[in-house]
Amino acid sequence: MRVLLVEDDALLGDGVQAGLQQAGYTVDWVRDGVAAELALKDVDFDIAVLDLGLPRQDGLTVLRKLRATGKDTPVLILTARDTVADRVAGLDAGADDYLIKPFDLDELGARLRALTRRHAGRSAPTIRYEDLELDPAGRTLTQSGEAVTLTARELAIIEALMNNVGRALSKERLEEALYGWDEGVESNAIEVHIHHLRKKLGRDRIRTVRGIGYLLPKHRESV
């Protein structure tokens, strides 16, 4: 899952980026509002963590411009502005959640998982598909109750597919979810990850839709 972190404080941004990466997120970090606006325009991030007091353009302006484009990217505001008026302004501008500094990284992670669930139309903390059950908080996958050992990127791919059952995700969309700006992507990286997942979960589990991408067929609704 790919996160845009918008934070101008170098020490805080470095800590949040490292913490989210350790939790399994792909994190791109920008430090001003103009860079944030351009990033949100160019990349379909799964979620954005947005400070308000930013150089060059404030966070509320970034948020209003994002919503004006029609994009529904979940946005969590992360700021030291803690008055009721500030929270109301942020939520009315289109934010999905609000977290006041200082904060605990575990709480930030829990809030991001909750936003992801709501955006995917789920209420349960785990994702189920047939005999698979994925726990985003614990970063684990089980098949028929048995733990399956996956790399971080294999887990990210199966999570993306389980969140979009019946809908094909392109190779480019999966690359966006797995790799940040500073990471090189080999041309066959996604194919290699899919090959390994098929070996672990069953050859026919992930279906290739020629010319489009990959999907989990919609045998029944995931919970």
Domain ranges in the chain are: 2-120, 127-215
Task: List CB contacts of 129: < 8 A, sequence separation 6 or more.
Answer: 162, 165, 216, 222
Q: Can you tell me the distance from the alpha carbon of 41 to that of 49, in angstroms, rounded to the nearest whole number? A: 15
pLDDT bracket for residue 41 (50, 70, 90): very high
What is the dotted CATH code of the domain comprising 2-120?
3.40.50.2300
Burial of 114 (0-12, 13-18, 19+ CB in 10 A): middle
pTM for the model: 0.80
Q: Can you tell me the distance from the alpha carbon of 51 to that of 58, in angstroms, rounded to the nearest whole number? A: 8
Structure-derived torsion over alpha carbons of residues 115, 118, 122, 124, reported in degrees to the nearest 10: 50
Q: What is the largest CA-CA distance in the chain?
A: 54
pLDDT tens sequence across 83-123: 889 889 999 999 999 999 999 999 999 999 999 888 888 88
pLDDT tens sequence across 22-38: 888 889 999 999 999 99
Q: CATH number for the 127-215 domain, one of 1.10.8.870, 3.40.50.970, 3.20.20.210, 1.10.10.10?
A: 1.10.10.10
pLDDT tens sequence across 65-81: 999 999 999 999 998 88
Q: Can you tell me the distance from the alpha carbon of 70 to that of 187, in angstroms, rounded to the nearest whole number? A: 31
For the chain, give me the number of helices (H) and strands (E)? 8, 11
